């Protein structure tokens, strides 16, 4: 799982071998970060958009928000690619990998929410 480039490192944290068991927790600080991240879980279905008044915003504000939503809809997918390609392969300890797996899932929720906002707010002029 570890990137070949990282095998030459002397960083002890990157040299840990994969374990087939989570317990006992070897990195309580990382495991607690994972638990804190998990406690903030939400889904895009929880966000009620029916009371929003996007159409009543000034045109320049609508333009600005449309561009921001478009940016984040794409960039969160890039965040996931970066985590997957640049971080997960560097670590074999379970606590770090669990945190990054959860972050991948959370970014998926963000991506779905941005896409949903675009669907609801931005009208196709055609």
Q: pTM of this prediction? A: 0.81
Is 114 one of the catalytic residues? yes
Q: What is the domain range of residue 104?
A: 58-126
Side-chain-facing half-sphere of 32: CA atoms under 13 Å = 3
pLDDT 10s digits, 59-97: 999 999 999 999 999 998 999 999 999 888 888 899 999
Prior bond of 24 cis (ω within 30°):
yes
- Terminal Cα distance for the chain, rounded: 48
Domain count, the chain: 1
In a domain, 23, yes or no: no
Q: 74 in a domain, yes or no?
A: yes
Count other Cβ atoms within 10 Å, centred on residue 85: 10
* Catalytic hit among 31, 34, 102, 114: 114
Residue 90: the pLDDT is 87
Look at residue 24 and tell me if it is in a domain: no
Q: Is residue 3 part of a domain?
A: no
């Amino acid at each position: 799982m570890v990137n070949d480039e990282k095998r030459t490192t002397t960083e002890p944290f990157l040299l840990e071998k994969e374990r087939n068991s989570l317990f006992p927790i070897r990195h309580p600080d990382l495991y607690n970060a994972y638990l804190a991240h998990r406690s903030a879980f939400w889904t895009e279905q929880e966000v009620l958009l029916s009371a929003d008044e996007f159409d009543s915003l000034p045109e320049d504000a609508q333009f600005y928000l449309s561009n921001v939503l478009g940016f984040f809809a794409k960039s969160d997918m890039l965040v996931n690619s970066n985590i997957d390609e640049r971080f997960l392969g560097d670590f074999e300890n379970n606590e770090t990998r669990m945190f990054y797996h959860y972050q991948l899932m959370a970014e998926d929720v963000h991506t779905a929410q941005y896409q949903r906002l675009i669907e609801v707010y931005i009208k196709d002029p055609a």
